[in-house]
Structure 1
Amino acid sequence: MIQTRLIPRTAEAQEPPMLIKTLLAQSLRYEPQREIVYRNLFRMNYVDFNRRVRQLANVLADSGVAPGDTVAVLDWDSHRYLECFFGVTSVGAILHTVNVRLSPAQILFTMNHANDKVVLIHEDFLPILTAIKSQLTTVENYIILSDKVYTGSTTINRLSDIPTDFLGEYEALLTNAPSEYDFPDFDENTWATSFYTTGTTGNPKGVYFSHRQLFMHTMGLLTYIIGYEAMPFRGSSDVYMPITPMFHVHAWGFPFLATMMSAKQVYPGRYEPELLLKLLITEEVTLSHCVPTILNMLVSSPAAEKYRENLSRWKVLIGGSALTKGLAKAATELGITVMSGYGMSETAPVMAVGYLNEQEKALPTADQLELRTRAGRISPFIDMRLMDDDGNFVPHDGHSLGEIVARGPWLTQGYYEDPERGADLWKGGWLHTGDVASVTPDNWVIIADRTKDVIKTGGEWVSSLDMEDVLSQVDGVAESAVVGLPDDRWGERPHALIVQKPGYTLTTEGVKANLQAKVERGELHKWYVPDRILFVPEIPKTSVGKIDKKRIRSEMKDLILGVQSA
């Protein structure tokens, strides 16, 4: 063991713990008058926000929440959710951000498994609660959330309109709560948040993070996003609006960063294309993050061209699924700055963000798109490697492929009450992502595919992500998904779903001819021409907006077998 010289701790010197309340405290230091906006319904400054967070803490205490208890939230992206990010965690309780897009049975499982004690729920989700309420085993109190209080309606405030076993309505409870609350100090390794991620089999897995991990994730974003300006974000001039659900990995951690910086924040509530565009324009939003589906929806909107001038200041970080060159090109032509990021639920999530150095910023736009659609450059403080099936590290030469494994100060320690899957996640002391990639000598991560989505056909490995990227560049293709299906001769063959852009009439023969021409010019391998192409109105998605390839494989397999049997 290496001999080191430790600095002895003294009784007098106190080292404050890394707690979420410390991030909150920064919001009042320099720009407390900046605004936090909810849709076109509500706005406040950081003085009001801090007061409301403390009022929420008092409401939680009155509802029986003690340190270590779990508070569940079912809401759209809102200022209320942001208040819970800080209010719930700063009293030492655990914030469970419930994925409202799961089935009622899955939501029931997650709430019982997380031992939720108090539930804050938007009235839009009351039908879900009605379906599962009798089966909830640990919940003691409910608080209703409503937008009606911001529209001048007092309907929700009438006792007869609130379920009798609810404590009351959120705004009314905050109004009646004291505005002073002294957030305590406690161990920085205290459990702060939990949420559930779905896999291909079994029940959802509970992912959890400590105050220290979320504090360090915020410092990582601060270093890369602000310090290195990977996605330039200046509190003095930028306006942040998430278009990633706040239940999904803390909205990628950006609300913690934006609040610490006292940046102007805009929360859109339920995602509606027209309102999103309106908020982008009227609130002068400059930074967002979302999955490709949302960006494609906004870029394809008839109003996008009308607001080209306004969109030219918008910077968008893309994650969740691969950013194709076709979508990146369409966004860039509208003046939008796009960049990819990489991470997963288990990594809090950011492990890589696209960063162009001085030489790369001088490249032509087409060459920049090649870089911007990569998964990103490895983030500060993250140790990322590639590993082969035998547990050996693979060189970062830009060509060799291996599974991404990682270590870092904000990666989850495992899965709640699931030691077997947690041990598999951290096999060999490295977090295993299940993603196959190459890494360049200058730290660019190039995802080849998920291990379960790589297509092996005729002895060749074909990336479904590469195929989708190629299809995105076919004129008239709005979105695509490629999966491999069993084939008696070749082992597997690729099959594609395509959504057409409005005004186009594509044919299977036409798309295949386009790809075949690239094969004949030596631009593509012959295996990149899919066996079957189906045109669909939309691509199946998971609850967080990712392409649902498990469902696609199942449905296409059934369709093909049905055709063959007929």
Structure 2
Amino acid sequence: MPTTLIDRTPSAYDGPLLIKNLLRSPVRQFPNQEIVYGDFKRQTYRDLGERVGRLASGLARLGVQPGDTVAVMDWDSHRYLECFFAVPMLGAVLHTINIRLSAEQILYTINHAEDDVILVNTEFLPILESIRDRIDPVKQFVLLDDAGQAPTTTLDIADEYEALLAASDPHDDFPDFSEHTRATTFYTTGTTGLPKGVYFSHRQLVMHTLGVLSALAKTGQGSFHGDDVYLPITPMFHVHAWGVPYVATVLGVKQVYPGRYVPERLLALIAREKVTFSHCVPAILQMLLTHPSVDQTDLSRWKVIIGGAALPRVLAQQARARGVDIFAGYGLSETCPILTLAHLKPHMLAWDEERQLDIRCKTGLPVAWVDLRIVDEAMNEMPHDGKTPGEVVVRAPWLTQGYLKDPENSERLWRGGYLHTGDIGVIDEEGYLKITDRLKDAIKTGGEWLSSLALEDLILQHPAVAEAAVIGIPDQKWGERPVVLVVPKRDSLESFAERDFCDWLKGWVDQGTLSKWAIPDRVLVVDSLPKTSVGKLDKKVMRAQYQELLSR
């Protein structure tokens, strides 16, 4: 299509969208705002700007050049935030290593990403020591230490983080370069095979920041603004902690980084630092709401986005009972990640609590710049009637353009010119998306499709159930049949009975809420449910474990 391009005088500045431009204004405008790292350190935005410069200078002294890859193995800390900026601002690539993967998987991601320098917390030295001889090529290691004592290690440590910064120039001049330069790489936990590398450019991260900012920086329910205090409870290695640290920095809010996720420590930080905004997966929030310390913690000013898995209604009710402004968000590792947020529209604020919960637990409304559709296998769009399901496909300026060094899966991801999420959902008349299942987790039994997520949401309303998962097991007669895995609450371990539980489920059938096909053939009481490294239910592992057990 012919268009008219703007005229540019030779001296005009093009203004590439670079991560450095997210940092400049808040450092100048909010120089005394605090950044807290647990019980270890307090610093200001002025310090952040200086330390980012020193880190970049120090890495350059170690030989890091544009295009090199710098990896980080750390708990959530002020150091991680500094790496979020300094490494990409050098023109290098930041690889955020998933510290919860196995040593073999970590080795694979290090070699696949071709890391040149690894910044490693003392606690993770044993992992690197166990795989050091197989890391290729030779890397440099920088030590991250909270204890203040030099550890004994077989690794050849090039420098210690604070010493590196102290010996470096704080006034690094960061040049412009293409906004399409790769800024970050990290690896999905994957459902099959080896982890997949996803990657994002400076432009994509800046656009994601602006898109999320436009959705959150508003008045009313679920807002995120300059008076808030931010505490991420999603690992910084996982999709840049959902990209919210960049948003928090642009807003100039007080930021609190907790280190390792320990319930009593998180609750103490929320109380001490007066935290008002967080995000986490359902399992983490459940852990906090059931911890004994929660009764001494005021959560009435806390706003929490729940992502990574569906927000169970019973969990939302528990959070609302303590005054938490809870709502769902949605995205994937491949989408940077935020695509939707379940904010209430202004006219919904007058609704009663139960009706509002229907909205808070949905997957949400697409944020700015997100073109989200539900389609059939031929890419035909499905009606927005809240009933007709389809696969969720998306376009947005910040979606990974492929998998690193994996052209075949990259094309499969983007078939038809839209990124395929692998999720099944419906969109209602108000425009809210609700994920009803993963394509691979949906259960077809007796010719009927069952949503494992919907069934789990009902099961979690049973007073004796702490956690639950529904998986499909092959069945010769019906194709598949649902199996329910239940972790009972501690006070119900001995009294939980499968027959009583199934009778309770049949009550939902009688009410018309549940299909008769959803009544499981088996209910297995288990001590725990397998989870991925980021706290999601790992149904791949469950299917493998329990299919073998049930086939005996």
Q: Give the alignment's TM-score, normalised by structure 2.
A: 0.97
CA shift for structure 1 position 29:
2.7
Q: Amino acid of the residue matched to residue 228 of structure 2?
A: D
Where does 1:185-204 land on structure 2 (aligned, <5 Å)? 185-204=176-195
Aligned residues: 550
Aligned residue for 1:240, secondary structure, equals: strand
Shift of 1:178: 1.8
Cα distance change of structure 1 residues 336 and 28 upon mapping to structure 2, 3 Å threshold:
same
Partner residue in 1 for 2:36: 37
Using the TM superposition, give the Cα deviation of residue 162 of structure 1 relative to its aligned residue in structure 2, in angstroms: 5.9
After superposition, residues 99-118 of structure 1 pair within 5 angstroms as 99-118=98-117
Return the letter of the residue paired with 1:194. T
2:468 to 480, 491, 504: 480
Provide Cα deviations, 1:439-486, integer angstroms capped at 9, x if missing partner.
123220011100000000111000000000000111121211110101
Cα distance in 1 for residues equivalent to 2:127 and 2:219: 44
What SS does the aligned partner of 2:118 have?
strand
Question: Are 1:402 and 2:390 counterparts?
Answer: yes
The Cα offsets for residues 198-246 of structure 1, whole Å up to 9 and x where unpaired, read as 32222211100000000000000110011365621111x2100100010
What per-residue deviation string (whole Å, max 9, x for no partner) do you get for residues 153-211 of structure 1? xx22xxx7465611121112212222221111111111100001132222211100000
Between the aligned partners of 1:81 and 1:213, the Cα distance in structure 2 is: 20
Q: What value does the CA root-mean-square deviation take over the aligned residues?
A: 1.3
Are the equivalent residues in 1 in contact too, given 2:218–2:225 (CA < 8 A)? no
Q: Which amino acid aligns with 1:212?
A: R
1:142 maps to 141
Equivalent position amino acid for 2:276 in 1: T
Q: Deviations over 1:27-61 (max 9, x none)?
A: 22322111000111111010111111111011100
Residue 348 (structure 1) aligns with: 336
Residue 70 of structure 2 is aligned to residue 54 of structure 1: no
Paired with 1:366 and 1:528, the residues of 2 have a C-alpha distance of 25
Match of 2:211 among 220, 225, 228: 220
Task: Report the equivalent of 1:232.
Answer: 223
The alpha carbon displacement at 1:254 in A equals 0.4
How far apart are the structure 2 equivalents of 1:25 and 1:31? 10
The within-5 A match list for 1:204-283 is 204-227=195-218, 231-235=222-226, 237-283=227-273
Give unpaired runs (5+ residues) of structure 2. Answer: none
Asked if residue 515 in structure 1 is aligned to residue 514 in structure 2, the reply is no
Matches within 5 A, 1:378-457: 378-457=366-445
The match for 1:497 is: 485
Partner AA of 2:294 in structure 1: A
Contact kept, 8 Å, 2:426 with 2:435, in 1: the verdict is yes
Is the Cα contact below 8 Å between 1:496 and 1:530 reproduced in 2?
yes
What is residue 127 of structure 1 aligned with on the other side?
126
What residue in structure 1 maps to residue 165 of structure 2?
174
Deviation at 1:18, TM superposition (A): 0.7
Whole-angstrom distance in 1 between the partners of 2:153 and 2:534: 30
What residue in structure 2 maps to residue 152 of structure 1? none
Q: Which residue of 2 aligns with 1:290?
A: 280
Q: Which amino acid aligns with 1:558?
A: E
Query: How big is the shift at 1:26?
Result: 1.7
1:537 alignment partner, one of 527, 546, 550: 527
Residue 355 of structure 1: CA displacement?
Answer: 1.4
Query: For residue 468 of structure 1, what is the aligned residue in structure 2?
Result: 456
- 1:24 aligned partner: 23
Q: 1:164 to 1:128 in 2, by over 3 A?
A: closer
The amino acid of 1:383's aligned partner reads: D
- Letter in structure 1 aligned against 2:218: G
Give distance in 2, aligned partners of 1:384 and 1:90.
31
Q: Deviations over 1:364-412 (max 9, x none)?
A: 1111111111111111110011111122222222221110111111111
**Match of 1:422, as an amino acid?**
S
Q: Is 1:87 aligned with 2:78? A: no
Contact preservation (8 Å) 2:122, 2:144 = yes
Contact kept in structure 2, 1:230 and 1:354, CA below 8 Å: no
Matched, 1:376 2:364: yes
For the residue of structure 1 that corresponds to 2:42, the secondary structure is strand
Amino acid at match of 1:385: R
Deviates more, 1:423-432 or 1:23-32: 23-32
Q: Is the 8 A contact 1:354 1:371 kept in 2?
A: yes
Q: What is the correspondence of 1:324-339 to structure 2 with a 5 Å cutoff?
A: 324-339=312-327
2:189–2:532 contact (8 Å) kept in structure 1: no
Amino acid paired to 1:55 = R
Cα distance change on mapping 1:422 and 1:447 into 2, 3 Å:
same
Amino acid at match of 1:389: E
CA distance in 1, matches of 2:219, 2:176: 32
Amino acid at match of 1:132: I
Distance 2:60 2:289 in 1: 45
Residue pair 1:144, 1:162 contacting (<8 A) in 2 also: no
Deviations 1:254-300 (A, max 9, x none): 00011111110000101111101100100111111000000000011
Find the aligned partners of 1:70 and 1:327 in 2 and give their Cα distance: 40
Change in Cα spacing, 1:47 to 1:168, as seen in structure 2 (3 Å) is same
Give yes or no for contact 2:28–2:46 (8 Å, CA) kept in 1.
no
Matched, 1:74 2:73: yes
Other structure's SS at 2:422 match? strand
- Which SS does the other structure have where 1:174 is aligned? helix
Q: Distance in 2 between matches of 1:141 and 1:75?
A: 16
Query: Offset at 1:558?
Result: 1.5
Give, as a single letter, the amino acid of the residue that structure 2 aligns with 1:523.
T
Contact 1:118–1:139 (8 Å) recurs in 2: no
In the alignment, structure 1 residue 314 sits paired with structure 2 residue 313: no
Query: Structure 1 residues 498, 335: closer, same or farther in 2, change over 3 A?
Result: same
Does the alignment pair 1:183 with 2:180?
A: no
Q: Secondary structure at the match of 1:311?
A: coil
> Conserved in 2, the CA contact under 8 Å of 1:116 and 1:139?
no
1:411-442 deviation per Cα after TM superposition (whole angstroms, max 9, x unaligned): 11001111110000110111000001111232
Higher deviation after alignment, 475-484 or 275-284: 475-484
TM-score normalised to the size of structure 1?
Answer: 0.95
One-letter amino acid matched to 2:166: T
> C-alpha separation between the residues in 2 aligned to 1:290 and 1:90?
28
Deviates more, 1:536-545 or 1:500-509: 500-509
| d(CA) in 2 for partners of 1:164, 1:40 | 28
Opposite residue 292 of structure 1, the aligned amino acid is P
For 1:385 and 1:523, locate their aligned partners in 2 and report how far apart those are by CA, in whole Å: 27
CA distance in 1, matches of 2:423, 2:299: 33
Q: Distance in 2 between matches of 1:546 and 1:499?
A: 15
CA 85–393 in structure 1, closer or farther in 2 if over 3 Å, else same: same
For 1:66, the aligned partner's letter is Q
